[in-house]
Amino acid sequence: MLTRLPAGAAPMTPPAAAPVLKGKAVEGGVSAAASAQVLWAAILFNLALCFVDTNVARMSALPVMVTEGAILAAAFFLPLARANRTPGRFDALLLLLLGSWLLLSMLRQSVDPKLFRDVAIIPIFVLLGMSTRGEGLHNRIFWLHLVIVAVAIWEAVSVTSFVLVFDIAEFFASTRGMANEDWWVENGLYLSAVRPESRFLFPDLPLHRLSSVFLEPVSLGNYVVIATIWLAGFWRHIPARMRMVAVATTLFLLVGSDSRMATVACAAILLARLGMRWIPNIAAVLVAPIVIAAMFLAVELLGLRSGLDTFGGRIAHAAETFRSFSLANYAGLSLDKIKATEDAGFGYIVMAHSLVVAAILWMTLFLRELKTAESRFLHLAIALYVALNLTVSWSIFTIKTAGLLWFLLGRSIREDGEEAAGSEPQRPGALSNAT
């Protein structure tokens, strides 16, 4: 039925349609509480299983794999439960990674689910971050951070009581099948808890390398970098009363983990933060080729040699690994040198998935048009961390730290879309290039 407007009344206009991103809607989404539960589980489940292994019953690798599988399933299905969601680039990336893994497995006549799991974590948690509403999110990340700090303080103050509750050596021996005498120190900690050449940060500090909830120092060092990215990239979104506490405790974790890579990565990220306003969109995608080129250049100009447990020795090993690859290794058709890539992450990702798929993965993550300086910085910071880490390790593929890292990237993409949608009128679907 038609109605006549009163004289002088302004015509009514329908409300503007909510802007929609491919793969996400700007409005609505997964609650921060639900996503935080997944992140807490991803970071803490190994600690919980270690407690059970130490105090209840010895475990095998199966509970670890089943628990991790359940966490990945939760992270995958939460975004699918949203209304008004249309598939985007990360859905396509996940399908590509699955298809290429299946094809290469058939061609290699060898099936290793870990190879797919390592890269599937990336789009799954990016999509979770893109789907998550922001209310209270950073408060929950802050409290998770404090749990990590509290466990690290306990380990630092009384390693004896810590190991009585969390026998890390026995847990990794029973779930990874490695003999204690070959891999672990006598006090029940992970082998790398003690550097053979003394500490890197504050050599006179009477403290072993801390591991906290991650059970080994390398992952704690990686977490320090991710915490730095979180603080530097989301500073204005973090409640003011939490900022200085988070900064001080992150510094404590850096000193406690005594990580060379974390120190270098944090320094690079903070330097990039100083020039945040001038970071171009293309900066992040250029990081990997620049770091790889610098790696080879450093080996040639500085005469770096592999075989030493130093930053230079690790870089030389990564370069030599690439030089030893055959065409079949670059095509992902042969895993004959996979053991040599344990400390050469770039080589690992190329051999496991092919150079072409590795390049597509990198460009899908970092080649995009972003509207805000914060988002451009955060993408650059994550690219710096990943590229620097892959020169000397493949540790970024563990869900203990990878889940939070890629969640933050997804959350940055969502916030960039939300701010762009609020800054100018948008038609439905107009922000699809943000995915």
What is the per-residue pLDDT across 373-414, written as a single tens digit (0 to 9) for each?
A: 999 999 999 999 999 999 988 889 999 999 999 999 999 999
d(CA 238, CA 222): 21
Mention every residue, 6+ apart, whose C-beta is less than 8 A from residue 269. Answer: 225, 228, 229, 232, 381, 384, 385
Beta-bridged to residue 21, according to DSSP, are 24
- Each residue's pLDDT tens digit, 99-111: 999 999 999 999 9
**Cα-flanking dihedrals φ and ψ of residue 247, to 5°?**
-65, -50
Mention every residue, 6+ apart, whose C-beta is less than 8 A from residue 155. Answer: 162, 210, 211, 212
* Residue 422 identity (one-letter amino acid): G
pTM: 0.88
pLDDT at 4: 44
Quote the tokens at residue 21: 């991103």
Instruction: Please answer whether residues 380 and 268 qualify as being in contact, where contact means their C-beta atoms are separated by less than 8 angstroms.
Output: no
Mean pLDDT (the chain, rounded): 86
d(CA 53, CA 272): 43
Quote the tokens at residue 272: 């990039």
H or E segment to which residue 20 belongs: strand 20-21
pLDDT band at 178 (very low <50, low <70, confident <90, very high): low
pLDDT at 13: 39
3-state secondary structure (DSSP) of residue 16 = coil
Quote the tokens at residue 314: 């690790």
- Each residue's pLDDT tens digit, 27-73: 568 899 999 999 999 999 999 999 999 999 998 999 999 999 999 99
d(CA 94, CA 99): 9
